[in-house]
Amino acid sequence: MSQKPREEDFDRFLVVEGYSDLRFYAELLESMGIVDEVYIHMGLSKIEARDFVTLWLTPEKLARATAIAVILDADSSPATTRQSMAGLLSGVSGAVLPPNGGWAKSPSGARVGFFVVPGGDTDEQGELETLAWRAWSSEARNAPKRDCVDTFLRCMRATGSDRADGDPVEVRTSASRRSQVAHCATSCPPPGAQRKRGSGERTPTGPG
């Protein structure tokens, strides 16, 4: 088994909300051929991820970093999430971040950026799973699994026992989670499989 990655060996960083996000983006970075070049930090919630950035992104970190990115879920407040993150990152890094997401250069020379999923600079509500569900379910080869998910959700809503019984955002995200379970059954590594090198453990809130 390869050695656990150390933050000090990296100069490019990604901060995400939770473990499922960490695994998703590690797989994405691997598909791009750069998983060994990016260290991923995760919080356990949007608030924890924000708090972590506030305390972790010190002048020393900025001085040795070449790129720092944060990806957060829009949930039900995309505009508020973008405004909050733009202000936070601008304040701690000195970079003037675009209010709707994107990249800017800090005085130290590091590129600093953020992106809110699923819609970027739109008012679309949802989360990473919403984006993944849209991409996955749009492929013709996944139509049979998509139909299974839709049938399951209709059944659960009919019995009044599924949270997807109200808010359209909840419907979409509930469906997305279940679709990813179906997808994961054929594509995800088994429990205990080796971690992608660039994937960090959960980092406590605070400088580390």
pLDDT at 52: 93
Query: Same structural domain for residues 145 and 75?
Result: no
Radius of gyration of the chain (CA): 18
Residue where a domain terminates, one of 71, 96, 117: 117
Task: Tell me the per-residue pLDDT of 6-45, one tens digit each, with 9 for 90 and over.
Answer: 999 999 999 999 898 999 999 999 999 999 999 999 988 8
Residues 6+ apart with CB under 8 A from 176: 127, 129, 130, 132, 133
Query: Same structural domain for residues 18 and 50?
Result: yes
Query: What residues make up the domain containing 89?
Result: 9-117
Q: Are strands 102-105 and 12-16 parallel, antiparallel or unpaired?
A: unpaired
Q: How far apart are CA 97 and CA 25, in angstroms?
A: 22
Q: How far apart are CA 95 and CA 113, in angstroms?
A: 9
pLDDT at 203: 38
Task: Tell me the per-residue pLDDT of 154-191, one tens digit each, with 9 for 90 and over.
Answer: 888 888 765 544 444 444 445 455 445 444 444 544 44
pLDDT at 70 over 70: yes
Token code pair at residue 8 = 């000090």
* Mean pLDDT, range 178-207, rounded to an integer: 45
195 assigned to some structural domain: no
Helices (H), the chain: 19-31, 46-56, 59-64, 78-93, 128-137, 143-159, 168-187
Query: Same structural domain for residues 106 and 52?
Result: yes
3 assigned to some structural domain: no
148 assigned to some structural domain: yes
Query: Same structural domain for residues 112 and 146?
Result: no
The torsion angles phi and psi of 138, rounded to 5 degrees, stand at -80, -10
Query: Same structural domain for residues 32 and 112?
Result: yes
39 assigned to some structural domain: yes
Query: Same structural domain for residues 59 and 109?
Result: yes
Query: Same structural domain for residues 155 and 68?
Result: no
* Mean pLDDT, range 126-140, rounded to an integer: 89
Count of domains for the chain: 2
Query: Same structural domain for residues 91 and 142?
Result: no
Q: Nearest to residue 130, comparing CAs of 183, 163, 185, 171?
A: 171
